[in-house]
Amino acid sequence: MKLQALIFDVDGTLADTERDGHRPAFNAAFADAGLDWDWDVALYGELLSVTGGKERIRFYLEHYNTEFQLPENSDAWIAGLHQAKTRHYVRLLSEGLIPLRPGVKRLLDEARQSGLRLAIATTTTPENVTALLEATLGRESLAWFEVIAAGDIVPKKKPDPAIFTYALEAMNLPAEACLAFEDSRNGLRSSTGAGLRTVVTVNDYTRHDDFSAAVITLESLGEPDAPAADLNNPQSKVIVNLTMLRELAKAVN
């Protein structure tokens, strides 16, 4: 089937947001609340096994900080802490410290010029998506994406396929007409669970994950002056463009 749309994950895929964005934002919110919790780079890598910030805080308390006495209304308490984290995260992004990953802007531009439809399917909070797009591509870029499916819009977060299924239904497209872009094992399980062929671009937190279900696993989308390594074929360096994506969209897994 002809390729009609590209569906992008956000964290780790559009930009390397986790280590230097989400992580310090969580720590700043903890400090504001008078908590002495410190999520260092290594611990945060372990906590990334759970998607969703609120879910991640609860997982931390259940597995890494079991002494901590949660207040009675723990859902509301965690939600308040997480709102503070979102405020810090949006501020960090607005400072322009987190760039898009190589090839992202180039590919979005090419897709728009060719009339491909664009969507986002992410676990992160909607404000975070807006802040990233505004800070990196300008305010008008929000309108490039026909659907921005984010956060608690579906009852189950990745690896559940619900968020990708939601985006497909909102676009009224079958999975065979689309490609997904992901950076993590949980993300890949979600996209392939929705029937989507998926291009994976790894980052330092995810490069050792099992990506055997991806149509291709790359270091990044690549730029003309810095092509990206194919992790399963290290001699091959690629610059992901629409010609290549149309071929991948035909690939049978």
Bridge partners (DSSP) of residue 8 are 120, 181
Which two tokens mark 44?
Answer: 């945060």
Among 18, 37, 189, 219, the residue binding ligand XBP under the rule CB under 6 A is 18
5: which strand partners? 117, 178
CA 143 to the chain's CA centroid: 19
Is 11 one of the catalytic residues? yes
**For Mg ion, which residue of 187, 201, 215, 228 counts as binding (CB under 5 A)?**
187
Catalytic residue among 9, 16, 160, 183: 9
- Please report whether residue 9 would count as binding Mg ion according to CB under 5 A: yes
Residue 117 engages ligand XBP in binding (rule: CB under 6 A):
no
Backbone angles phi, psi at 50, to 5 degrees: -110, 125
Q: Considering the rule CB under 6 A, would residue 184 count as an interface residue with ligand XBP? A: yes
Nearest one of 5, 209, 203 to 101, comparing CA atoms: 203
Nearer to Mg ion, 165 or 184 (CB): 184
Nearer to ligand XBP, 22 or 197 (CB): 22
C-beta closer to ligand XBP: residue 47 or 249:
47
Selected from 27, 128, 191, 220, the binder of ligand XBP by CB under 6 A is 128
Q: Please say whether the beta carbons of 149 and 170 come within 8 A.
A: yes
